[in-house]
Structure 1
Amino acid sequence: MINGAHVILYSQDPDADRAFIRDVLKFQHVDAGGGWLIFKLPPSELAFHPVMDGGQSHELTLMCDDIEATLREIGQDQPITERDWGRIASVDLPGGGRLSVYQPLHPTAKDLTSS
């Protein structure tokens, strides 16, 4: 049976991005050896969206309860896009990539209880 998921983000500067996740976002982690940090993610959910613009891609979006407070806490002054379903902003990673931060305005999987 599946007991988890392993997400891989590719980076131009993985050491800088690992430091950002460790030191700024403060995710717990283990060292798999040689400085390869594996981070514990917060509770997650999985959704399927239609393919856009003829290509397939995957995204990692971090969820929060208060997007303004989250952006302030991690030192990012980014514009927030308002949608019917939520509020979203892109966060700059030190390695040159971007990560989305999202405040949902609809029920989420974290609202489910185990039976």
Structure 2
Amino acid sequence: MTGTHAILYTTDAEADREFLRDVLGFPHVDAGGGWLIFQLPPAELGVHPAEGAPTSELYLMCDDLDATLAELAAKGVQPVGERVEARWGVRAWVALPSGTQLGLYEPRHPVARGL
């Protein structure tokens, strides 16, 4: 395996691509016709037991969630809903231009990204 390729399905792909490019500043390549493929930070995968139907979630990890939210607020991006604290970390969500929610996560457990 050489990496992870995540797909975000959205109702306004162009606007959400602009957000990832211009607001979050992710480097990217154009795969043709404006289909931007973004370089993400290193990834890790957690596998949790399902309570109900199996699903998947996408979070962008940060070292300091409050600082990240403040940086995004300075760019006009506000969190959606309440932040969620747990012993293993804290989560919050922001809305992309399409309304799709993107999770942000500050882990408080050992992380695998430095392996």
TM-score, with length taken from structure 2: 0.89
For the Cα contact (< 8 Å) 2:21–2:27, is it kept in 1?
yes
Hey, what's the Cα distance between the residues in 1 that align with 2:92 and 2:109? Answer: 17
Hey, what's the Cα distance between the residues in 1 that align with 2:65 and 2:28? Answer: 24
2:78 equivalent to 1:77: yes
Find the counterpart in structure 1 of residue 54 from structure 2: 56
CA deviations over 1:69-106 (Å, ceiling 9, x no partner)? 11111223323221110111011111111011000111
Hey, what's the Cα distance between the residues in 2 that align with 1:92 and 1:65? Answer: 20
CA deviations over 1:35-86 (Å, ceiling 9, x no partner)? 0000001000011111222x12111110000101111112233232211101
Find the counterpart in structure 1 of residue 26 from structure 2: 27
Structural RMSD (CA):
1.2
Q: Of the candidates 87, 101, 106, which is equivalent to residue 103 of structure 1?
A: 106
Find the counterpart in structure 2 of residue 65 from structure 1: 63
Q: Which structure 2 segments of 5+ residues have no match?
A: none
Hey, what's the Cα distance between the residues in 1 that align with 2:107 and 2:95? Answer: 20
Report how many residues are paired: 110
TM-score, with length taken from structure 1: 0.89
Hey, what's the Cα distance between the residues in 1 that align with 2:32 and 2:19? Answer: 19
Find the counterpart in structure 2 of residue 4 from structure 1: 3
Hey, what's the Cα distance between the residues in 2 that align with 1:107 and 1:5? Answer: 20
Q: Which structure 1 segments of 5+ residues have no match?
A: none
Letter in 1 for 2:39: K
